[in-house]
Chains A and B, each alone.
Chain A
Amino acid sequence: MIRIVLLALLPAFASAQTLERGNGPEPDSLDPHRAQGLSAQQILRDLYEPLVRENASGEAELAAASGVQVSDDGLIYTFQLREDGRYSDGQLVTAEDFKASLERALDPATGAAYGAMLRPIRGASERLEGNKVPLCIEAPETLTLRICLSTPRADFLRRLSLPVAMPVPRRNFEHGARFTRPGVLIGNGAYVLSEWVPQSTIVLTRNPHFRQPAPIERVRYHVTEDAAHELKRFTAGELHLTETIPPGQAARLRTQFGDRLHIASAYATFFLGFNLRQPELKNPALREALSLAIDRDILTRHITGNGELPLYGVLPNSSAQTIDKAAREADARARFAAAGFARETAPTIELRYNTSLVNRRLGLAIAAMWREVLGVQTRLRHEEWRSFVVSRREARITQVFRAGWFGDYQDPVNFLEPFTSDHPLNATGFADAEFDTLVAQVATGIDAENAISSAEQRLLHANALIPLFQYTSKHLVSEQICGFAAHPLDHHPSSSMRFCEQRTGERDK
């Protein structure tokens, strides 16, 4: 009886036509140019449509553009925009809108952290440094957009799929810096912003002007910072889709939820970096020994435990080589001896990571492996995130540090460029002219396949890092929801999903 009364008082929770999505932390901004967090980007892909997007099979496909021609020298991109491209206020999406929006993204005053992604555009780097040089973006016709690059970039199209290249119309950002309010924000995506309670929920409703109306009318994004609590809310039926699952619970949740648990390899890697500027770590044989001594299978099976793949290469999906444990450890000892060390003279090495329970467990396991195989003692140091980022970047006190990389788009260059000599994110201090040349070649796309594998081999051979595993994306999806598909970048546009019973009798399973 009580239960019936209470349920009657509960109207808005998991109501039939609203998709309730867990979305991790509060989005930092819904301004496509300022947003940095993954949670914001997930929502932005519902609110705006860039020229191209990356689909689940890893291809770049046309979105707001209906066609694209690339000049033979790879420098000029001419986009034909869709004739039925409409903003949420009903107005046509024009080339002029894209031009104005890209110019805004490249204005330092906008504060676009991702602006650097647009650097291939001729004039963009100068703009980002505050020089008002002409920018090579033209809108010769209402629906024709022409962009020219300073050098050919094979990944340029994919870069245009990022939020920083989404078309914020001028009439919107002229409203002031904070145009991202319900009722004000004008997007060209499948949904429009209708409610935003910071730290709680963001509600989107179907954009009636979008060329293909989204099947689900309303989407409510919930801030879910704690995975364990998100799981409880999913179990209680308050969420249709979770952002993640708590670490190490895949097996249990598989039994409980069966195929409602979706785990897929993500285009993201977890590795340890060596600070090569530290005298203790200058010895390549020592670095190789430390890498060989780690049993990736144990880490992924018993510590992260959510389907992560052991990783031996720099790039995600690099072929997993399973080496016999005894042979690997013998090899590690041999390299350790070659480095001039013995068990008695083993050095003490610092392993630094950002504070988290999983990182701590990984650190303890790695320390145990190093001690057991080589006799190396490990000083585990943890720092809260912002301090850790600074220590790692400054590279003064770090020795071995935790690192991870989520591909912004699917191109190996994403994982290779941070190791080039003058890259601001190169925390290892790895500097190799040959590697730099190879990566530059990968970027232009000329004979890329060979350049990629040579660059990767060079980096591995130098032992500048210890690849550990490839991340997975993990979601629980309610049985009411159909159309959810694994995506290597974990992009899940709400418009791709629908309630299974929505079309009579049609069920995916």
Chain B
Amino acid sequence: MKWLNRLALRAAGTAVTLLILVAVCLMLLRAVPGGPLDTERDMPTAVRAAIEAQYGLNLPFTEQFTRYLRNAIDGRLGPSMQYPDFDVEELIAISAPITITLGLLATLLALGTAIPIAAAIAAEPLALQAARTGTLIMLAVPKFVLAPVLVLIFSLSLNWLPAGGFAWNQPLTWVLPVACLALPQFFVLLRVLIENLRAAMEKSPVIAARARGYSPMRVVTRHALPLALAQTFGFFGPILVALLTGSAVIEQVFNIPGLGRYLVQAALNRDFTLLIGCVVTVATITIIAHFLVETLQELFDPRMRARG
């Protein structure tokens, strides 16, 4: 019962957030110089007017807003302005799964590598120091530098992996993008995990385990690691958001038809319908991700439940 209430409250909050987002987007797009129909062509006035009427660009703000909402509730986001052959919901249905899949794979990869490595080196002061320094350096490398370097090594020199493109049925095309997305997250996680592990080692249950004479390995994996992981959950939210926003760069560099690319292009092209569609999708994913993370956190960490 308590759960249902919270869920309803969440949903209501999400709806309000999305409404505000749509309104802000529409307002910003009206304020920005240059519109979707401003090209180097000489477009006859009646043609221009016909297109504007199709998209409701000639309407006052409130009408534009209500019309958009009415259509959105019916699941119609309208045709894209830059790509009129497609409806926005179609483009999102094609692109969002790609971005989400790559993001999840990257998260799993980052987690799957960061946890064992952190556990292995938490007790080694030298390795620890090296990891700290390495993390700082790697975090400073932007993705648009990292990606071409990986392409240079794995595609051009070794010829192992395709240099770009994406296809669901060719998993090899996923490898480099996922690696590029995962690498910075891996270092963030590693750093956080190591610090949390160090802190966990000082906690009384872990000290008690050490006092019982368990092997260091067992102390770390059975006692310190669960504590450290629970502490680390808080970072998942920001990491998921970073994956979504970071995908814009990766998708551009690797020519992947994902959501991030549409987001950037729609803004540059003043593609109102597509931009709002993308913003709402990204916002929804972010909110859901945060909600899931919080729920997980409560499951793993009884202290959070007590507070809630």
Contacts and interface: CB of A to CB of B under 8 A. Distances in A.
Interface of A: 2-3, 6, 9-13, 26, 28-31, 34, 36, 108-116, 128-130, 177-178, 180-181, 197-201, 222-226, 228-229, 232-233, 235-236, 238, 384-391, 393, 423-425
Contacts of B167: 12
Contacts of B258: 199
A425 B47 contact: no
A238 B164 contact: yes
B58 interface: no
B49 interface: yes
Nearest to A391: B33
Interface in B110-167: 148, 151-152, 155-156, 158-167
Interface of B: 32-35, 38-47, 49-51, 54, 79, 82-86, 91, 94-95, 148, 151-152, 155-156, 158-167, 170-172, 252-258, 261-262, 265, 268-270
B257 A108 contact: no
Given A116-B43, A177-B84, A226-B252, A236 B155 contact: yes
A236 B41 contact: no
B273 to A, nearest CB: 14
Contacts of B95: 198-199
A114 B41 contact: yes
Given A26-B265, A386-B33, 13 more contacts: A3-B158, A6-B161, A13-B170, A31-B85, A108-B47, A111-B54, A128-B44, A129-B44, A178-B84, A236-B155, A238-B164, A386-B34, A389-B40
A439 to B, nearest CB: 15
Nearest 10 interchain pairs by C-beta: A386-B34, A199-B257, A108-B46, A200-B257, A130-B46, A128-B44, A387-B33, A424-B42, A108-B50, A387-B34
B119 to A, nearest CB: 28
B42 A116 contact: yes
Contacts of A30: 85
Contacts, number: 163
Contact of A180 (B50, B85, B252, B255): B85
A347 B46 CA distance: 42
B45 A390 contact: no
A386 B156 contact: no
A111 B51 contact: yes
A42 B40 CA distance: 18
B255 A225 contact: yes
A384 B35 CA distance: 12
A111 B165 contact: no
Contact of B45 (A28, A129, A232, A384): A129
A316 B262 CA distance: 36
Contacts of B256: 200
A108 B49 contact: yes
6 contacts: A111-B54, A198-B94, A199-B255, A223-B255, A224-B255, A387-B32
Given A199-B262, A200-B257, A390-B33, A238 B44 contact: no
A389 B268 CA distance: 13
B54 A390 contact: no
Nearest to B151: A232
B34 A36 contact: no
B252 A225 contact: yes
B38 A386 contact: yes
Contacts of A423: 42
Given A10-B172, A229-B255, A111 B84 contact: yes
A389 to B, nearest CB: 5
Contact of A9 (B51, B148, B152, B172): B172
Contacts of B94: 197-198
A233 B85 contact: no
Contacts of B162: 10, 13, 236, 238
Contacts of B172: 6, 9-10
Contacts of B85: 29-31, 34, 178, 180-181
Nearest to B87: A178
Nearest to A3: B160
Nearest to B161: A6
Contacts of B152: 232
